[in-house]
């Protein structure tokens, strides 16, 4: 158990809909990273939040957004869903700074858009 909790584990929704994925980081970790794993793109970094503030963006679509709340949990919002958004979405948490040595991953949320 990595200590990172993601809910829900599975999500099936229709095209055009909006969903919210939730991530609770390990106790004490201020950073949350979101990644998307798809068959064609592999594992790609989406966005990084640190202590409530956006720190970096990767290959995140404009239809996607995220936030990190005062209790440090994070939500990834996906809207106007398309079939191609079907993927496994991971979050990872980390102690931050140059002393950070690894990120801990949740079990992921498998999103299926039909």
Partner 1 sequence: AQSVTQLDSQVPVFEEAPVELRCNYSSSVSVYLFWYVQYPNQGLQLLLKYLSGSTLVKGINGFEAEFNKSQTSFHLRKPSVHISDTAEYFCAVRALSGAGSYQLTFGKGTKLSVIP
Nearer Cβ to partner 1, position 13 or 107? Answer: 107
Q: Residues 45, 61, 73, 79: which binds partner 1 (CB under 8 A)? A: 45
Nearer Cβ to partner 1, position 15 or 41? Answer: 41
Evaluate whether 8 touches 108 at the Cβ level (below 8 Å): no
Evaluate whether 109 touches 56 at the Cβ level (below 8 Å): no
| Angstrom distance (rounded) from CA 112 to CA 44 | 18
User: For the stretch 30-39, what's the b/e string if a residue is b when 16 or more beta carbons lie within 10 angstroms of its beta carbon?
Assistant: bbbbbbbeee
Q: Does 90 bind partner 1 (CB under 8 A)?
A: yes
Q: Residues 87, 103, 111, 113: which binds partner 1 (CB under 8 A)? A: 103
Q: Which two tokens stand for residue 14?
A: 């229709």
Give the footprint of partner 1 on this chain (CB under 8 A): 2, 33, 35, 42-45, 48, 50, 55-56, 58, 90, 92, 94, 96-98, 100-108
């Amino acid at each position: 158990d990595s200590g990172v909790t993601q809910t829900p584990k599975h999500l099936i929704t229709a095209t055009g809909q909006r969903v919210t994925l939730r991530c609770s980081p390990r106790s004490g970790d201020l950073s949350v990273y979101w990644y998307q794993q798809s068959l064609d793109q592999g594992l790609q970094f989406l966005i990084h939040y640190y202590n409530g503030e956006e720190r970096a963006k990767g290959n995140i679509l404009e239809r996607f957004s995220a936030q990190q709340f005062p209790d440090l949990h994070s939500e990834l919002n996906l809207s106007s869903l398309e079939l191609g958004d079907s993927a496994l979405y991971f979050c990872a948490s980390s102690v931050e700074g140059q002393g950070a040595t690894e990120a801990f991953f949740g079990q992921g949320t498998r999103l299926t858009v039909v």
